[in-house]
Amino acid sequence: METDPEALPKTLLITLTGTDRPGVTSTVFGTVAAFGVEVLDIEQIVLRGRLVLGVLVTAPRDWKALRDAVQRVAADLDMQVEVDRGTGDNRRRPEGRSHVTVLGTPLRPAAMAAIAGRIADTGANIDRIERMARYPVTAIELHVSGADPDRLRRMLSEEAARQSVDVAVQPASLLRHGMRLVVMDVDSTLVQGEVIEMLAEQAGCLDRVREVTEAAMRGELDFEESLRERVALLEGLEAAALDRVHDALTLAPGARTLVRTLKRLGYRFAIVSGGFAQVTDRIAADLGIDFAAANELEVADGRLTGRIVGPVVDRAGKAEALRRFARQAGVSEAATVAVGDGANDLDMLTAAGLGIAFNAKPVVQRAADTAVNVPYLDAIVYLLGISREEVEAADALEGLVTPAPPLPR
């Protein structure tokens, strides 16, 4: 049933623009207060020292006197002002509210135009836009209402591929603000490269192992069978090779920042790997990871036997580990975030409340809730509503902050 326009409250929208300075907002509200109005909504942003302040208030009987008073204040502040009289407040549509995060390096106007166009095509509205980061990637978050999040995700995923940007769509909910569990793959996600290939290089069988690895990651081979085949090729390799591989590993850019930032907020972390516990357990200890699951290589007389001890952590095993760790952490599966890149991560990504394909194979990107194709693992914090400025402010308290690079001229 449509609302009778005559029944809606008469309102005034006051919009001021100009150079930002201390006291502008208090001055405006001090002027408005004299007219006995009710504040219905406020939005204020500052871009490169320019202030845009929007205030929605109930309209007094003598609304023109309020308009004239605000215009005098704006003139004194050397600002521009518009006062629009209308009806209704600023209630957003209750259904289909989503957070849409756009990542680009760089983020170009044409890409934003295309993304905004697809949002409009769904009949949705962009209620608010804010910047989450400007380096090392540009991250923009749009608050969208009026569209089914799943339909919005499908449309924007296709447009993101055309525009060479990353777009994440998440339903607006309290889960985004609560404690969550982040479960990450290790090889080519948390760390650069594949541990088994590094071991194979020392064993002199890299080419053969790499062939089997790539086929397994594409989903062309059963993971357990392929893993046992590759491990068999390592028979006789001295166990000290595991230490050398661990010492040679390089974390993905932003990995420490991601873990450090989210643990400050009470998040729990887990790593689940089709690799080897002799390496992943040390990574977990180094980063303060709460839970870890991986395969264990059998060692006898200081050398690898070419066998695995116990059941294999495969595609299904990763999803089961996510569920197990969620129970241990005391969070629901809906409050989990999974990050991975290969076909053996698919069940884990599907089981999680938010599945993120990180620089992943095409089959994984299509199946995940969202894809991140920038090389910085800490870009994930922007998907969780955390800005770069907030990360740096927290780091500054511990003396860890790195100055932002200058803006391009």
List the catalytic residues.
185, 187
Virtual torsion, Cα 147, 12, 55, 113, nearest 10 deg = 40
Residue that the structure tokens 């180094």 belong to: 286
Helix axes 388-397, 255-264, angle to 10 degrees: 80
- What is the token pair recorded at 246? 């661990």
Rounded distance, CA 258 to CA 375, Å?
Answer: 13
Rounded distance, CA 354 to CA 190, Å?
Answer: 17
| Helix ranges, 249-314 (H) | 255-264, 277-287
CA 393 and chain centroid, separation? 19
- Smallest CA-to-CA distance from 271 within 377, 334, 180, 186 is with 186
Residue 113, burial from CB neighbour count under 10 angstroms (0-12, 13-18, 19+)? exposed
- Smallest CA-to-CA distance from 37 within 15, 17, 55, 16 is with 55
Torsion angles phi and psi, residue 286, rounded to 5: -65, -40
Q: Where are the beta strands (DSSP E) in 134-257?
A: 138-145, 166-171, 181-184, 191-192, 250-251
User: Which residues on neighbouring strands pair with residue 142, listed in sequence order?
Assistant: 100, 129
Rounded distance, CA 134 to CA 48, Å?
Answer: 13
Decide: 202 and 247 in contact? Cβ < 8 Å.
Answer: no
- Smallest CA-to-CA distance from 62 within 88, 34, 104 is with 34
